[in-house]
């Protein structure tokens, strides 16, 4: 059974919709800056969505006095765009599911609750703690979209959104759903900033994916969703096909990918096999490319191992939008769909010299109008939970 992509929606530090993202990439305009969403003593470079919570509520038509986590609001904005973009006439007339991913859930609220509770338990707002769970944002977004069928949450660190898309595709293939809105959403909060700082993998400067001088990642926030459908439910021309996908957990380390890239290699290889194409048919790779010494070396070795000397054009977008954790592959899957549809390759910012040991050179200029029949998108998470998605033009 073919899986069609019919709708896309995006929000990140460089735009509040798909169109704004394309404009930012074409202009080489990144979203990096200092933290403004909450007080912190860390000198960190991050990519924040340039809309406050109240502005997000206005865009979504929500009451200002109702409490929502920032993760929920960002997810609502991107999922709303994706559903509208798909032009599904009535989600009640076909079996529609919602599969969302997140890593922080409502921590932006619960960490504020904890601070208030510690100071004065009687004045702390328990509603903030109630939105802590990852599933809370999923349920609230589903209710906002009026989806009452299958609703669930995936949380596998940075591969979460890829696994949400994979789960959605499998449910359609097995005849359980006709359409799925799948992707992820995450907001910046103190917990993740401090957590990554404790791992000593934050770069105070603008990150440099796949560059030999790379020193760490920059965190980001945002959301991205795809609408997947089976052929019987199609009402309009789709963007492309989801032809391959795979998850491979190498379980090498709690936070690091295996140094030889075993997990990345397997999920890329299996995705290509599922699509029944050869590695040489992959026209572009949207790499995970966080800018950490471990990730870029591991992913680079996996790419060398799979593609040999015939390396496809590749680039990381994380120097534009930061590492958005559970939302990463939701956002980057949408960008990969646009790569297939519009022939776009995104520039890998801040690259100067290749990593010693892989000698891979990413694309550093914005390109469009290319013939990209097959695009691979990588997303690798803590614990070695690694996933790849393969998008293809419709024959």
**What are the residue numbers of the active site?**
158, 288, 323
User: At which residue do the structure tokens 């990381």 appear?
Assistant: 316
Contacts of 312 (CB under 8 A, 6+ apart): 282, 283, 284, 285, 376
User: At which residue do the structure tokens 């799948």 appear?
Assistant: 182
Q: How far is CA 126 from CA 109, 111, 147, in A?
A: 10, 12, 27
Q: HSE (CB half, 13 Å, CA atoms) of 324?
A: 39
Radius of gyration for the chain, computed over Cα atoms and rounded to the nearest angstrom: 20
Contacts of 6 (CB under 8 A, 6+ apart): 85, 86, 87, 88, 179, 227, 228, 229, 234, 236, 238, 239
Strand runs (DSSP E) across the chain, as ranges? 4-11, 32-34, 45-47, 96-101, 151-154, 179-186, 219-220, 222-229, 240-249, 284-286, 314-315, 374-380, 385-392
Helix (H, G, I), strand (E, B) or coil at 126: helix
Distance CA 166, CA 284 (A): 20
Rounded to 10 degrees, the C-alpha dihedral 209/210/216/219 comes to 20
Helix (H, G, I), strand (E, B) or coil at 299: helix
Bridge-based pairing state of the strands 385-392 and 222-229: unpaired
């Amino acid at each position: 059974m073919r899986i069609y992509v019919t709708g896309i929606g995006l929000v990140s530090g460089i735009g509040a919709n798909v169109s704004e993202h394309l404009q930012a990439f074409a202009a080489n305009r990144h979203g990096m800056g200092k933290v403004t969403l909450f007080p912190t003593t860390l000198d960190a470079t991050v990519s924040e969505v340039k809309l406050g919570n109240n502005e997000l509520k206005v865009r979504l038509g929500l009451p200002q006095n109702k409490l929502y986590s920032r993760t929920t609001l960002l997810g609502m904005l991107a999922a709303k765009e994706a559903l509208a973009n798909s032009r599904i006439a009535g989600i009640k007339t076909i079996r529609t599911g919602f599969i969302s991913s997140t890593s922080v859930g409502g921590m932006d609220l619960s960490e504020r609750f904890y601070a208030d509770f510690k100071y004065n338990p009687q004045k702390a707002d328990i509603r903030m703690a109630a939105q802590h769970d990852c599933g809370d944002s999923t349920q609230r977004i589903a209710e906002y979209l009026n989806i009452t069928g299958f609703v669930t949450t995936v949380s596998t660190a940075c591969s979460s959104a890829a696994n949400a898309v994979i789960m959605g595709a499998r449910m359609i293939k097995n005849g359980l759903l006709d359409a799925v809105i799948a992707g992820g959403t995450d907001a910046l909060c103190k917990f993740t900033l401090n957590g990554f700082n404790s791992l000593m993998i934050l770069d105070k400067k603008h990150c440099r994916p796949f560059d030999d001088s790379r020193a760490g990642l920059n965190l980001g926030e945002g959301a991205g969703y795809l609408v997947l459908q089976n052929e019987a439910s199609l009402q309009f021309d789709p963007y492309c096909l989801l032809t391959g996908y795979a998850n491979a957990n190498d379980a090498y380390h709690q936070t690091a990918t295996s140094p030889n890239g075993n997990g990345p290699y397997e999920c890329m290889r299996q995705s290509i096999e599922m699509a029944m194409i050869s590695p040489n048919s992959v026209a572009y790779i949207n790499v995970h490319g966080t800018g950490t010494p471990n990730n870029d070396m591991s992913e680079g070795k996996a790419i060398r191992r799979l593609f040999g000397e015939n390396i496809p054009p590749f680039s990381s977008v994380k120097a534009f939008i930061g590492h958005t954790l559970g939302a990463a592959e939701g956002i980057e899957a949408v960008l990969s769909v646009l790569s297939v549809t519009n022939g776009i390759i995104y520039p890998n910012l801040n690259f100067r010299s290749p990593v010693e040991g892989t000698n891979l050179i990413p694309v550093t200029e914005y390109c469009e109008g290319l013939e990209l029949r097959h695009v691979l998108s990588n997303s690798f998470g803590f614990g070695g939970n690694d996933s790849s998605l393969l998008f293809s033009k419709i024959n």
